[in-house]
Amino acid sequence: MATFFNRATLTFNDSTINSNIVTGEIIEVVSATKTALSDNYVPGETVSYVVNITNSGTLPFTDLTVTDDLGAYTFGDTTLVPLTYIDGSARLFINGILQPAPTATAGPPLTVSGLTIPANSNATLIYSARVNEFAPFDAGDTITNTATVTGGGLSSDIVAQATIPTAQGPQLSISKSLCPTTVIDNGEITYTFVVQNTGNEPAIATDNLVISDTFDPILDITSVSFNGTAWTEGTNYTYDETTGEFATLPGQITVPAATYTQDPTTGAFVINPGTATLTVTGTV
């Protein structure tokens, strides 16, 4: 509801007389909400948003525009945008029925224009964006993006926001390499396993990380080390020499959290993953 005030002025000769002030109210029949379909975000992830626009009036609203700032925030003298609209992802539903694809301009900001909402109807606009290099990832960081509905005879702009936090906890991946890749019979090879953590919290002993592998051909293990420290069978890992099945024991592997460095000029974040390295050496 919006309140407005007005008064008249009467002038004659050199005199001015003001009337009384009248007060009126405009009942806003269009409202909007915005919801993120993800509870949190991680680097490179796709986040989908739903903007619901309700027209509870008896007349349609035409030529409305939804503008989304895609989480824009100020960085020094510039503006950074942590979300990148995924081209072609916008979908429009009127009262639950899919409509022709709306006109969307990626921006930033993202604009979706030419929307019509019939009387006593609901429009649902769904679109997706990718978390890019300008998004912050430290624990407690968030992305807040704002959708603004304008045009179509609205008495005032309608604003709806959605805030999602960065995911807290480790985000792990593993890679495996072999050296050398060509070996003679009874030759020595080394398997190297690298665990990377791009998350903002370390993987600790109680997370019970386990690396397992079945070596084929079966390996006659001569040494195992973790981050350069020698490991002992039965204490740190198990190995079945008849099947080649290898596994670290729970609680032996930890991985530090990533660190995030923001370029002071561009504002882009560089992710420096925490790493842990396991090596297994033996003869085949």
Reported as a pLDDT band with limits 50, 70 and 90, residue 19 is confident
pLDDT tens across 96-134, in order? 999 999 999 999 999 999 999 999 999 999 999 999 999
Would you state the torsion angle of the CA atoms of residues 212, 213, 214, 218, taken in this order, to the nearest 10 degrees?
Answer: -110
How confident is the model at residue 57, as a pLDDT? 93
What token pair was written down for 104?
């969307």
AA identity, residue 259: T
Q: How many Å apart are CA 71 and CA 73, to the nearest integer?
A: 6
CB-neighbour burial class of residue 115 (10 A; exposed 0-12, middle 13-18, buried 19+): buried
- Better pLDDT: 5 or 132: 132
- CATH no., domain 23-165: 2.60.40.740
How many other CB atoms are found less than 10 A from the CB of residue 250? 12
Residues 6+ apart with CB under 8 A from 274: 196, 197, 202, 255, 256, 257, 258, 259
Beta strand pairing call for 274-283 and 220-226: antiparallel
Q: Which helix (H) or strand (E) holds 144?
A: strand 142-151
**Mean pLDDT (whole number) for 129-151:** 96
Which residue carries 């050398």 as its tokens? 180
Distance CA 45, CA 106 (A): 18
What is the percentage of the chain residues whose pLDDT exceeds 70? 96
- For the domain made up of 172-283, the CATH class stated in words is mainly beta
- Asked if the domains 23-165 and 172-283 are classified in one and the same CATH topology, the answer is yes
How big is the chain, counted in residues? 284
Average pLDDT on 159-163 reads 97
Whether 25 shows a pLDDT value over 70: the answer reads no
Chain mean pLDDT for the chain:
94
Q: What is the pLDDT of residue 49?
A: 98
DSSP annotation of 139: T
pLDDT, tens only, 194-237: 999 999 999 999 999 999 999 999 999 999 999 999 999 999 99
Query: Do residues 186 and 283 lie in contact, with contact meaning Cβ atoms separated by under 8 Å?
Result: yes
Mean pLDDT over 65-77 rounds to 97
Domain spans, the chain: 23-165, 172-283
Q: Residue 165, Cα to own-chain centre: how many angstroms?
A: 8
